[in-house]
A and B are shown apart, each in its own frame.
Chain A
Amino acid sequence: MGLFESLFRTSSSNKSAALAKERLQIIVAHERGSRRGSPDYLPALKKELLEVVRKYVPVDQSQIKVHLDREGGYEILELNITLPDEEQRYGRD
Chain B
Amino acid sequence: MATVIVVTSGKGGVGKTTTSASFATGLAQRGFRTAVIDFDVGLRNLDLIMGCERRVVYDFVNVINGEANLNQALIRDKRVENLYILPASQTRDKEALTKEGVEKVLNELKQSFEYVVCDSPAGIERGALMALYFADEALVVTNPEVSSVRDSDRILGILASRSRRAEQGDPPVKEHLVLSRYAPERADRGDMLSVEDVLEILGIPLLGVIPESQTVLQSSNAGVPVIMEDGSEAGAAYGDLVDRFLGKTLPHRFITTQKKGFLKRLFSGS
Q: Does B157 contact A (CB under 8 A)?
A: yes
Is A28's CB under 8 angstroms from B153's CB?
Answer: yes
Count of chain B residues with Cβ under 8 Å from any Cβ of A? 22
A92 at the interface (CB under 8 A from B): no
Is A15 at the interface (CB under 8 A from chain B)?
yes
> Which residues of A come within 8 Å of B, CB atoms?
1-3, 6, 9, 13-18, 20-21, 23-25, 27-28, 31-32, 35-36
B27 to chain A, nearest CB (A): 28
Residues facing A in B191-243 (CB within 8 A) are 191-194, 197, 200-201
Most buried by B among A15, A24, A31, A35: A24
Contact call A31/B154, Cβ cutoff below 8 A: yes
- Interchain CA distance A25-B193 in the complex, whole Å: 12
Minimal beta-carbon separation of A8 from chain B (angstroms): 13
CA distance A7 to B146 in the complex (A): 28
A21 touches B193 (CB 8 A): yes
Residues from chain A with Cβ under 8 Å of B200 in the complex = 21
Between-chain CB contacts (< 8 Å), 26 pairs = A1-B185, A1-B264, A1-B268, A2-B267, A2-B268, A6-B268, A9-B189, A13-B191, A14-B190, A14-B191, A17-B190, A17-B192, A17-B197, A18-B190, A20-B145, A20-B146, A20-B193, A20-B197, A21-B193, A21-B200, A24-B149, A25-B201, A31-B153, A31-B154, A32-B153, A35-B161
Closest residue to B160 on the A side, CB-wise? Answer: A36
Q: Beyond A27-B150, A28-B150, is A2–B264 a contact (Cβ under 8 Å)?
A: yes
**Which residues of B pack against A, CB within 8 Å?**
145-146, 149-150, 153-154, 157, 161, 185, 187, 189-194, 197, 200-201, 264, 267-268
Complex Cα spacing A21 to B187, Å: 12
Contacts of B268 in A (CB 8 A): 1-3, 6
A36 vs B150: C-alpha distance when bound (angstroms): 15
Question: How far apart are A28's CB and chain B's nearest CB, in angstroms?
Answer: 5
Contact with B191, one of A17, A23, A32, A36 (Cβ below 8 angstroms): A17
Inter-subunit contact B191/A16 (CB<8 Å): yes
- Given known pairs A6-B268, A21-B201, A25-B201, the reply for A32 and B157 (CB within 8 Å) is yes
CB distance from A52 to the nearest CB of B (A): 25
In the complex, what's the smallest C-beta–C-beta distance from B135 to chain A, in angstroms?
19
Output the nearest chain B residue to A73 by Cβ-Cβ distance: B172
